[in-house]
Structure 1
Amino acid sequence: MNGVKAKALGCLYQQLKSLRSPARPCSLAACSRKNRNAALHPLWQSPLTIPGGTRQSPINIQWRDSVYDPFLKPLKISYDPTTCLHIWNNGYSFLVEFDDSTDRSIIVGGPLENQYRLKQFHFHWGAINDWGSEHTVDSKFYPAELHLVHWNAVEYPTFEEAVMEGNGLAVIGVFLKLGARHEGLQTLVDALPAVKHKDTVIEFDVFDPSCLLPSCPDYWTYAGSLTTPPLTESVTWIIKKKPIEVDEDQLEAFRMLLFTSDGEEEKRMVDNFRPLQPLMDRTVRSSFQVRHLLDTEAQPQGHAEQVRP
């Protein structure tokens, strides 16, 4: 293992100890981006990069520039609710973690050549509703974004090793928008006060994260990276086109969490997203044909399907 990988792996172990531990200033996108980045958590304040990185995330997805790929397979999702283990406030988000020792909760198909096991899911969100998502679509921000993190257990023996390799991870991204109360999410929201402080963990079992996925099967996909250290370029991103709706109270429950431990000066957990990264020479592929460039609520087009048991 070379020096860069060794250093990144060391950073990874520090970031992923969960394996062993139970007012809008203007309407312009550029102005919003400047203001949303002004109060970021220190983890995202500096322009973190990896040497020679060419596939960093998140990115702005341009409808016009995305390329329809008729050969993209349907994305098949099979989650076992009993594999859910606990919720952990790790100091920059809350992670809902799963038993990934077997193939009980997996995804397969889509742009993936292997099946991938679900490891955890988490969210990124803003201090206000004008921003919060990591990815954007035509420079549009959403209040929050869900990430379901999976790893390639076919080719790699451990999650940590998969993190270091180009095809090691697959992350489903789902945008959240303000609207109706999300009944599936509410079970999780009700548990959040118990993990208000950094490093708190509670048991959280029998939860099916497929309830957090939109029914529309359409998605974009591209080769990218983790958005937290070690920022390894190991992620196949699958960004769902259609957002899910959550209400104001549910978003506020996220914002009541703290970056800080019990006894420390309280710092609200908000704006926990990484700034946008350059697309460079990458292509964003879509599973659907672009017919209405600005209509992310369009009905599914073409052959794509999403299968859940």
Structure 2
Amino acid sequence: MSGGNWGYDAHNGPEQWHKTYPIASGNAQSPIDIKSNEAKTDGSLKSLSINYSPGSIKSIVNIGHSFHVVSDDKENASVVKGGPLQGTYHLNQFHFHWGPSNDFGSEHTVNGKGYAAELHLVHWNSDKYASFAEATKNPDGCAVLTVFLEVGSAHPGLQKVVEALGHIKTKDQQAAFTNFDAASLLPASLDYWTYFGSLTHPPLLECVTWVIFREPIKASADQINKFRTLLSGGEQQCPIVKNNRPPQPLNGREVKASF
């Protein structure tokens, strides 16, 4: 398995990643199982300040194991600050993780329970670093806002994303995707857990302050099923059936709660 050939199948999936990326066995890997009764309420945690600009969203692209909705880091930037974060973090992209069925597709779990899917809004510390790539090399480089999806009524904000997937069926296909308010994908309550961890897929760098919202959003089974209609790259175009890494050991890290 070379650096570019990782995936989520038995031969190249999460159990194999440590062979190419030794950090996969590191002490601060993500995702984790959040044990709510062990999370410590931290009164010093400030409220999050989320200022998302629909003008920052530019395109949607199939990256072979998921899809990214890309945000412009500079022009009309979407930003988050406050909470556990020191400084301002710019939205770089957002993407989803899912499993082979809607029973369990999230990466993080809560008290051992998974959700149908999981949204990651990926930000980088623009106060300290010149680029997203540079930020990923530093412990305070990135922040990922995380939203669980559970099956219920169709989500109006998600629908525009789902409809765009028809334009990016195969790897490296890209389409314009503009004037989208990423804040429409956030839950009503912004109560959150937070901990320090890593990117959940290679290169698995330990550079992420995770902010995981306690309250999930609802999406219809049809909406989530559409994720699995995307095709991965390679000689055979196979549906992206799953792209979720299982929870990793906490290794003594502290999970804090804002509530």
TM-score in same-fold range (> 0.5):
yes
Q: Which amino acid aligns with 1:269?
A: I
Return 5+ residue gaps in structure 2 as ranges: none
Pairing of 1:194-205 with structure 2 (within 5 A): 194-205=167-178
Pairing of 1:36-185 with structure 2 (within 5 A): 42-48=12-18, 49-50=22-23, 53-102=26-75, 104-185=77-158
Instruction: Give aligned pairs, total.
Output: 252
In 1, Cα distance between equivalents of 2:68 and 2:32: 22
In 2, Cα distance between equivalents of 1:87 and 1:103: 17
DSSP 3-state at the match of 1:233? coil
DSSP 3-state at the match of 2:161? helix
Residue from 224, 243, 252 that aligns with 1:281: 252
Displacement of 1:51 = 7.5
Displacement of 1:217 = 1.4
Residue from 209, 234, 238 that aligns with 1:267: 238
1:100/1:113 Cα in 2 relative to 1: closer, same or farther (>3 Å)?
same
Q: Which amino acid aligns with 1:108?
A: K
- CA deviation digits over 1:275-307, x for unaligned, max 9? 21100010000001xxxxxxxxxxxxxxxxxxx
DSSP 3-state at the match of 2:92? strand
- CA deviation digits over 1:238-296, x for unaligned, max 9? 000000000011011111111136xx4231112201121100010000001xxxxxxxx
In 2, Cα distance between equivalents of 1:118 and 1:209: 10
Return 5+ residue gaps in structure 1 as ranges: 1-10, 16-37, 289-309
- Mean CA deviation greater in 102-111 or 214-223: 102-111
Displacement of 1:205 = 0.7
- CA deviation digits over 1:19-52, x for unaligned, max 9? xxxxxxxxxxxxxxxxxxx956834341534187
Q: Which amino acid aligns with 2:256?
A: R
Counterpart position of 2:216: 243
More helix by share: 1
Percent sequence identity is: 48
Contact 2:201 2:245 in 1 (8 A): yes
DSSP 3-state at the match of 1:50? helix
1:59/1:41 Cα in 2 relative to 1: closer, same or farther (>3 Å)?
farther
DSSP 3-state at the match of 1:172? strand
Q: Which amino acid aligns with 2:83?
A: G
In 2, Cα distance between equivalents of 1:187 and 1:79: 17
1:96/1:157 Cα in 2 relative to 1: closer, same or farther (>3 Å)?
same
In 2, Cα distance between equivalents of 1:235 and 1:112: 11
Contact 1:174 1:239 in 2 (8 A): yes
Counterpart position of 1:258: 231
- Mean CA deviation greater in 264-273 or 181-190: 264-273
In 2, Cα distance between equivalents of 1:56 and 1:132: 18
1:72/1:40 Cα in 2 relative to 1: closer, same or farther (>3 Å)?
farther
Q: Which amino acid aligns with 1:248?
A: A
1:51/1:205 Cα in 2 relative to 1: closer, same or farther (>3 Å)?
closer
In 2, Cα distance between equivalents of 1:78 and 1:96: 17
Q: Which amino acid aligns with 1:142?
A: Y
Counterpart position of 1:35: none
More strand by share: 2
TM-score (norm. length: structure 2)? 0.93
Displacement of 1:88 = 0.7
